[in-house]
Amino acid sequence: MKIKYITIALFFGIITTINAQDNTIPKSNGGIKGGYNLAAVSFDGDGETGQRHGFHIGVYGESFISESFSIQPELMYSQQGYEITNSSGTFTQKLDYINLPLMLKAYPSQNFFLEAGPQIGLAVSHKEEYDGFFSSSQEYDPNNFDWGVNFGGGFKTDSGISLGVRYHLGLGDLYDEGKAQNRVWQFSLGFDL
């Protein structure tokens, strides 16, 4: 008889512990986000170019793997590129991408997060603009595929509104000739749906 009561008590103790653990892991969610881009390109040996101002917008899904960690895949449209100015004029390379970041997020406190992860991108359009008499013998035909890593952080309210900042460090070469990689600062506002 004692074994029966011990078994029942142990069973309810395990169920209570499992339920308590499940309640500590936040719910998975998804939403929309967008914001401001400050993009440039790093040329090997020549430093960084001037910046192109643009925006990004897209969707995300956040799945918690523990109380303090989540994985967040995203699908984003992002305006990137760069600007070069000399005494003759200005050259602007406008590059628009569909980016797929996969971020690992850590929550050191309930509302603050840090994030890092890989990103791949597909160029969906590129356009060159010349202002003044800027001329170059170089042909600017960018590669369609980009990849790199992202680092960032931010704040997320209990109601699902988030503010974030992220830096994209491109590792893939922008052109077949020479070393040139994307560098993008992103400032975002997101809303869980």
Which domains, from first to last, does the chain contain? 26-192 (2.40.160.20)
Per-residue pLDDT at 17:
47
As a whole number of angstroms, the distance between CA 77 and CA 85 comes to 26
Q: What is the mean pLDDT of residues 61-83?
A: 95
Unique residue bearing structure tokens 């309810």? 12
Q: What is the mean pLDDT of residues 55-64?
A: 97
Model confidence over 14-45: pLDDT tens digits?
Answer: 544 444 445 567 888 999 999 999 999 988 76
pTM of the model: 0.82
Which one, of 62, 61, 63, 65, lies nearest residue 21 by Cα? 65
